[in-house]
Amino acid sequence: MLLNEVLNKCRNEKDVENVYRTALSKIFKTDISSPYATDGVLRIDSIHCLLEFKLHTNLNSGIDRAKVLIQCLYYLKKYEVDGKSYPTTIFVGDVNECFVISTTYLINNYINRDLNWSIAPSTAYVNYPDLVIEMSNDNNLLAYIFNKIETDEVKQKIIDLSSGTVRLIPINSKNIIEIFRIFNDKVLVDKFDTQKTAALFIECLINHKDIYLHPKKKNLLITSKYGEIKIKSDNYTTFFNHFKQEYTPAEAKFITEQKDRLVEETVRRKTGEFFTPPIWVAEAHNEIAKNFGDDWREKYIVWDNSCGTGNLTRDYRFNNLFMSTLNQEDIDIIKTMSYNKGATLFQFDFLNDEDDKIPVELLDNSKELLILMNPPYGTQASADSYKTKGKRTDGIKTKIAEQMNKNKMKHAAKQLYCQFIYRLIILKNKYNLNMKIGMFCPEGFVTKSSYKEFRKLMYDNFEFKSGFVFEASEFADVIMKWPIAFTIWENK
């Protein structure tokens, strides 16, 4: 049973103490003593950590943390009175959270205060409400709060603070989803759509010199791109006292490339948006080359009409590339990271906006146009957060879906990726375009009986050239095994 599950069963502080002491003894492979009637002291090698355990104390609250730290301060005073070396760190654990803090600042700034040191540590804070307020507002006593107790980070934090090391946790492919969730839950007060939240998170990581806390107004973050953002400033400070903010250009590029993945992890089951891994992007490019020549990126106008942050195109050079997306934040990131320099970027709601927003070059029937896309895969039931002009809509409320319903496209009208294809057919016929398509999407529209009407329309307009199929689990953070196809189609 996981430690968090055991803690959830605790009914009193003694239960919490027993659970933590057992866990910490195993983690550090040492016994825990209890001098001065403390909840425990962990001592091994360079580690000398005072332990304090609580039941349903909100450690995210500055006031509650201050009350606990006053109790710990009283224990530290007992070490001083006896002439013993102070513990170098404090670990405080509750059933829901825990934190680790160095004792250096606490000792240097509070242990010589004129207090009644003879009273019980556990109730000392009651006698000093002003001290509680002072400590709760002292930014030097801020601590990063861990929600997940059973992580290596907690152990490493105790080790690092014990040795005086400041080790910042770098963002990587394994932890970025969880760190983004923490940022959204703990730092932000203003709530935005997932696209903007992910973009802001990335900005805070890689362009933090242009972002700062308001010097006079608490809980206000100043950003160059998004203006003033309401946050929890203490949590912002502790967040970036724990996670790394300095990255090389290559590391910054990697973090930016995760933007689609952050969005996908948060809303994928509602919007059907997926992040296409580079290995399958490369395979798609090769498949197109087999059909249309190795120079297809030079000779065709290429349009990615659901580009996200450009992961289908950003590692390649094109002579004439157009990239459109529903979200302006995606375009901002592409520009910031200088992906596909020279490409034409434009915000466009492919399922709702009018043709007059499409660049005229894309509607020129004297040119050869190749559509390269990985559209959303959502259904009527799962697409209720597909957004247009700031309003919620669903699969049957887009303008394209309305047209599909009128033309009796039945089940296909409920699928966002089919709606993307349908609009391409409309554009092809309206402007007599010489169009080719290379697209990632589920294979259902060419295999299932419920797509019969839609399939006939597709075959009347395009000829299937080639393709390949792989499991959806190849996408980042997806465990499902339904098939995804990359297929190539040529204008009839």
Q: Which helix (H) or strand (E) is 431 found in, with range?
A: helix 416-431
213 and 99 both lie in a single domain? no
Confidence (pLDDT) at 287: 97
Cα–Cα distances in angstroms (integers) from residue 126 to residues 65, 68, 234, 241, in the given order: 14, 11, 24, 30
Of the three residues 142, 163, 184, the one that is the final residue of a domain is 163
Looking at the domain assignment, is residue 25 inside a domain? yes
- Give residue 391's identity as a one-letter amino acid code: K
Going by their DSSP bridges, the two strands 227-230 and 220-223 should be labelled as: antiparallel
In whole angstroms, what is the distance from residue 423 CA to residue 457 CA? 12
Residue tagged 């540590």 (tokens):
121
- Is position 80 within any domain? yes
Judge contact between 256 and 333, C-beta under 8 A.
yes
Q: Looking at the structure, do residues 351 and 422 belong to the same domain, yes or no? A: yes
Structural domain includes residue 262: no
Both 250 and 325 in one domain: the answer is no
Do residues 103 and 189 both lie within one domain? Answer: no
Residues 8-34, buried b or exposed e (16+ Cβ, 10 A)?
Answer: eebeebebbbebbbebbeeebeeebee
* Residue 417, phi then psi, degrees to nearest 5: -65, -35
Structural domain total, the chain: 3
Residue 444 neighbours by CB under 8 Å, 6+ apart: 415, 450, 451
Q: Which residues contact 64 (CB under 8 A, 6 or more apart)?
A: 57, 58
- Cα–Cα nearest to 307, from 270, 263, 275, 355: 275
Which spans in 29-128 are helix H? 62-81, 104-110, 124-127
Shared domain check, 202 and 116: no
Instruction: Looking at the structure, tell me whether residues 345 and 483 fall in a common domain.
Output: yes
246 and 335 share a domain?
Answer: no
Asked if residue 197 and residue 79 are part of one domain, the reply reads no
Specify if 170 maps to a domain: no
Block residue for tokens 């204008």: 491
Q: Examine the domain organization and report whether 248 and 317 are in the same domain.
A: no
CATH number of the domain that residue 424 is part of: 3.40.50.150
In a domain, 465, yes or no: yes
Is residue 420 within 8 Å of 350, Cβ to Cβ? yes
| pLDDT tens-place values along the chain, 492 residues long | 578 788 888 999 999 999 999 999 999 999 999 999 999 999 999 999 999 999 999 999 999 999 999 999 999 999 999 999 999 999 999 999 999 999 999 999 999 999 999 999 999 999 999 999 999 999 999 999 998 676 688 999 999 999 888 788 898 887 888 899 899 989 999 988 778 899 999 999 988 888 999 999 999 999 988 899 999 999 999 999 999 998 998 899 889 888 877 875 665 444 445 567 778 899 999 999 999 999 999 999 999 999 988 889 988 999 999 999 988 878 887 887 788 999 999 999 999 999 999 999 999 999 999 999 999 876 544 433 333 333 333 445 799 999 999 999 989 999 999 999 999 999 999 999 999 999 999 888 888 899 999 999 999 999 999 999 887 665 544 445 578 899 999 999
Residue 169 maps to a domain: no
Residue 51 falls inside a structural domain: yes
* DSSP, res 475: S
Given 99, 129, 163, which residue is the final one in a domain? 163
315 and 422 housed in the same domain: yes
The pTM score is: 0.59
Print the domain residue range for 201.
Answer: 176-257
Q: Which of 207, 224, 257 is the last residue of a domain?
A: 257
**271-287 pLDDT tens trace:** 445 567 778 899 999 99
Domain-embedded: residue 171:
no
Instruction: Give the separation between CA 425 and CA 437, rounded to whole angstroms.
Output: 11
Report d(CA 331, CA 360) in Å as an integer. Answer: 20
185 and 82 fall within a common domain: no
My answer on whether 134 and 212 are in the same domain is no
